[in-house]
Chain A
Amino acid sequence: MMSVRARFLIVLAALLLLPMFVTPIWRVYLQAPQYPEGIGMQIWINTVKGIKENDLDNINNLNHYIGMKRIEPDTIPELRIMPYIVGLLCAAGLVAAAVGRRRGAQLWVVAFILVAVVGLADFWKWEYDYGHDLDMENAIIKVPGMTYQPPLIGSKQLLNFTATSIPGVGGIAAMLAVGVGVLALVIDRRRPVLGGADGATVGAGERAASLVA
């Protein structure tokens, strides 16, 4: 059985997934001399939207110069399944905390990290595809050898734009969730085995006693 503190942390980790439903997960924003007001897009759990209302349309319109595909949120399958995956993960975390077994919590944290890694890799692949699959025949601006993959995280110069990719509030909350989940396992392992009045301790004490007996 896990300590109350560890189980509480698992609950917290699961709840920290909830901001992903109501805040942007990731932001990609572009800076250029002729855009003093800025332009960019935000990736939400089930869609991609501009930072300002028309930004996504305007980014797509700008991208036609370099032959990049239009970003159509309706055609991105990940955006359809992400809400379910995150929902499931959150529910599983709450269940694991309720059951309270260390195995369950460990499995949950591992699954979480796996989902996060797969998610980031998938995002990188999506960025790679958009940045490399260019319609070179109809591209107006052709820079030899140039591709337009935005960075996974960080800044990069793409023609006259500086593209910056950073997690949004939802994304930061999810990263914190991973951290909190791992912390839960760590502090649970560090908890002393003897002493205390709860069931787990009694069990350990009984085992020790039975060893002695």
Chain B
Amino acid sequence: MSLTRKSRVVASVGAVLLGVTYLYACAPTTKTSGIGNVGDAAARTYVAPGSYDEFYFFASGGFSGQVAVYGLPSGRLLKVIPVFSQNAENGYGYNVETKAMLNSSWGLIPWDDSHHPSLSMTGGEHDGRWLFINANNTPRFARIDLKSFETVETLELPNTGGNHGSPYTTENSEYVISATRFSVPIPQKDVGFDKFADEFKGTISFVKADEFGKMDLAFQILVPGFNYDLGRPGKGPSHGWVFFTSYNTEQAHTKLEVNASKNDKDYIAAVNWKAAEACVAAGKAKTWPTRYAHNVYNDSTHSASTEFKTSVKVLDPKDCEGTVYFLPTPKSPHGVDVDPTGEYIVGGGKLATVIPVHSFSKMQTAITEKKFDSEAYGIPVINYDATMYCEVQNPGLGPLHNEFDAQGNAYTSVFISSEIVKWSLKDCVVSDRVPTYYSIGHLSVMGGDTKTPYGKYVVAMNKITKDRYLPTGPELAHSAQLYDISGPKMKLLLDFPTIGEPHYAQAILASKIKGEQVRFYKLADNHHPYVARSEQETGVSRSGKTVHVKITAIRSHFAPDNIEGVQVGDTVLFHVTNLEQDWDVPHGLAAMGSFSDAEVLVMPGQTRTLTWVAKYPGVYPFYCTDFCSALHQEMSGYVRVAPTGSMVALSATTSPNTQLARLAASAQTPPPAPKAPSAPSGR
């Protein structure tokens, strides 16, 4: 090869190599560690053994149907509270005492989809009494007692399809408010899809829940058939109003993906519930017949019961002027949030390119001056510019939800560009953005929906996990990240997996409820119909084909533990009372072949019933399932099942092994006389 040709070859190879290297060097990388100072993050999120987390963090379980409780800042799972799904682990929703909590007008519903937790409030602050959570699929919502972390009451919502935008608690827990996601014929009837615009409607439900045991659907407002997505009650000056986003103002009923995304703006429905309340009191609502369940769990009888309510008051906005207004909001808005001052109403326009911020005072002025663009089904649509405070530019792609700190900053979750964007309500300019891993849905600032947010942390709850943790097959836990927001820039501190799919979460300062926790139930207050408050009160009885066994559990034996007289085909109800009056000594009970129940876990002082059907003749063991003591393995018993119609007497015994009983027995029966050697016994 000649010199020039060689040099040209070398030059071109070199150029290619250079070009390829340049491409690789400058190509955007997708991997960033995210954490600044690892040591600092570790110190901030480490809760040393023996000390406690600062916050209880209540996250919805989404498709798990439950509520998960985490400690922050450690991100440790403290408890999964069963709410809308059966929980075989402790028998919730399976056993006699708790089955009724899952009742509805359809019957017992063993699973649902819980999305949005809402802490009860007084004066716009979390008061630590209750947590409310919705069931999306079969519309209901539940009250969780924050002294026992148990679901204690549920109420079904009639005239509702898809209870997504739910529940939202007003400033002083006057109402817990929900809206329908899927418009349906109200009341339900058989009708063609083409009648959507005429027949399909939505409702906004106002439930009175400020007294345990007395949840009541005070009234519903009938609204046009849009999909109502999420809501927020007003606070301070806007207290008395509630705001709900809507999408699908196009009123599509098929392929919503495309057909519900056509309009440039949908609405935020501004509902003046104080006005509605007044109209209802003045008799302007109509009473419609319906049927919905109300379930209450009683801590004294340790049992749940169901009542059915049969009517509901429905208010048509046409009959009550000034109840509902529509605020145009770009575009298929998802979240709506009200800032701590109560003045700013921020929409999360899922498909919008800006974050619209409405001003409550401007809205009030616009209403007085009747600055209406049009009407939708008789509801005034206010002019967009008349209520606009600002539009935050550059918010990323797909802004969804906003929470606030006490410094006038807003934090927005942005789904498509997978980030949290921070901006100030003073100038509506983005001041910081951090990536989330990956595709954040909701976010939660500590106290971010109250009048004085605690701030300090924001938690991102994501929809895509992929490579964040050790992989566990195709189905992965949803990921959450904890960020520090105490400074001008957000800092990633912790990444932790969650159960189910946390859609939303709320945190409360641990100090508010930590000292109120129930440690055990007092036996003296136990009024369960089959309680046995001591071993003397135990026994067995028959009622047709049902055998009732009153049985007690205490470290480490059941009394009685040998049960006879059961026949094939009987249903045996083991009513277990845990006699312990000490902290953290639960007992469990399971019997072999438990096809009609799960196990029961019984807390100290509580009574729970295990339903066991005697299917086959024989002798079957039962035992304590929760490790309770050194002799837990010895805590067991037998049930003897005889064929149907046999003559074995019903009896339930325990060996007399107490010192007193032995002494009493030995005083009565003389010791056996020694046998004199006699003729060989002849084997």
Which residues of A sit under 8 angstroms from B658, Cβ to Cβ?
A: 64, 138
Known contacts A54-B581, A54-B582: A138-B554 contact under CB 8 Å: no
B581 and A57 within 8 A (CB): yes
CA distance A64 to B630 in the complex (A): 12
Cross-chain contact of B554 among A53, A61, A69, A135 (Cβ < 8 A): A61
User: Does B659 sit at the interface, judged by CB under 8 A?
Assistant: yes
**Residues 561-608 (chain B) with a chain A CB within 8 angstroms:** 580-583
User: Does B555 sit at the interface, judged by CB under 8 A?
Assistant: yes
User: Does A162 sit at the interface, judged by CB under 8 A?
Assistant: no
User: For residue A160, which residue of chain B has the nearest CB?
Assistant: B630
Which residues of A sit under 8 angstroms from B555, Cβ to Cβ?
A: 61
Which residues of B sit under 8 angstroms from A53, Cβ to Cβ?
A: 581
Known contacts A57-B581, A61-B555: A140-B631 contact under CB 8 Å: yes
User: For residue B554, which residue of chain A has the nearest CB?
Assistant: A61
Please tell me the size bucket of the interface on B: 10 to 19
CA distance A210 to B582 in the complex (A): 77
Interface residue total, chain A, C-beta cutoff 8 A: 15
A135 and B659 within 8 A (CB): yes
Which residues of A sit under 8 angstroms from B581, Cβ to Cβ?
A: 53-54, 57-58
User: For residue A137, which residue of chain B has the nearest CB?
Assistant: B662
**Residues 57-106 (chain A) with a chain B CB within 8 angstroms:** 57-58, 61, 64-65, 67, 69
Binary flags per residue of A118-147, CB closer than 8 Å to B gives 1, else 0: 000000000000000001011011000000
User: For residue A135, which residue of chain B has the nearest CB?
Assistant: B659
User: Does B657 sit at the interface, judged by CB under 8 A?
Assistant: yes
Known contacts A135-B659, A138-B657, A138-B662: A65-B630 contact under CB 8 Å: yes
Cross-chain contact of A58 among B582, B630, B657 (Cβ < 8 A): B582
User: Does A198 sit at the interface, judged by CB under 8 A?
Assistant: no
CA distance A135 to B659 in the complex (A): 7
Cross-chain contact of A141 among B580, B583, B630, B657 (Cβ < 8 A): B630
- Most B CB contacts (10 A, CB to CB) among A54, A58, A67 go to A54
**B interface SS class:** loop
CA distance A179 to B554 in the complex (A): 47
Binary flags per residue of B444-473, CB closer than 8 Å to A gives 1, else 0: 000000000000000000000000000000
CA distance A140 to B555 in the complex (A): 12
Cross-chain contact of B583 among A37, A61, A67, A138 (Cβ < 8 A): A37
User: For residue A133, which residue of chain B has the nearest CB?
Assistant: B659
CA distance A23 to B512 in the complex (A): 33
CA distance A64 to B629 in the complex (A): 12
**Residues 625-664 (chain B) with a chain A CB within 8 angstroms:** 630-631, 657-659, 662
Which residues of A sit under 8 angstroms from B582, Cβ to Cβ?
A: 54, 58
A159 CB to nearest B CB, Å: 11
Which residues of B sit under 8 angstroms from A140, Cβ to Cβ?
A: 630-631
B187 CB to nearest A CB, Å: 54
A163 CB to nearest B CB, Å: 18
Which residues of B sit under 8 angstroms from A135, Cβ to Cβ?
A: 659, 662
Which residues of B sit under 8 angstroms from A137, Cβ to Cβ?
A: 662
User: For residue B605, which residue of chain A has the nearest CB?
Assistant: A54
Which residues of B sit under 8 angstroms from A37, Cβ to Cβ?
A: 583
User: For residue A58, which residue of chain B has the nearest CB?
Assistant: B582
Which residues of A sit under 8 angstroms from B554, Cβ to Cβ?
A: 61
Which residues of B sit under 8 angstroms from A61, Cβ to Cβ?
A: 554-555, 580
A184 CB to nearest B CB, Å: 47
User: For residue B657, which residue of chain A has the nearest CB?
Assistant: A138
CA distance A54 to B582 in the complex (A): 7
**Residues 412-427 (chain B) with a chain A CB within 8 angstroms:** none
B659 and A138 within 8 A (CB): yes
B659 and A69 within 8 A (CB): yes
**Residues 29-62 (chain A) with a chain B CB within 8 angstroms:** 37, 53-54, 57-58, 61
CA distance A54 to B585 in the complex (A): 13
CA distance A212 to B658 in the complex (A): 80
Which residues of A sit under 8 angstroms from B657, Cβ to Cβ?
A: 138
Which residues of B sit under 8 angstroms from A67, Cβ to Cβ?
A: 659
CA distance A135 to B151 in the complex (A): 45
User: For residue A138, which residue of chain B has the nearest CB?
Assistant: B657
Give me 25 A-to-B residue pairs in the complex whose CB atoms sit less than 8 angstroms apart, sorted by A's number.
A37-B583, A53-B581, A54-B581, A54-B582, A57-B581, A58-B581, A58-B582, A61-B554, A61-B555, A61-B580, A64-B658, A65-B630, A65-B631, A67-B659, A69-B659, A135-B659, A135-B662, A137-B662, A138-B657, A138-B658, A138-B659, A138-B662, A140-B630, A140-B631, A141-B630
Q: Enumerate the 10 nearest inter-chain pairs by beta-carbon distance, A residue then B residue, closest first.
A: A54-B581, A135-B659, A58-B582, A138-B657, A140-B631, A57-B581, A54-B582, A138-B659, A61-B555, A37-B583
Given contacts A65-B630, A138-B657, A138-B658, 8 further A-B contacts (CB under 8 A): A37-B583, A54-B581, A57-B581, A58-B582, A61-B580, A69-B659, A135-B659, A137-B662
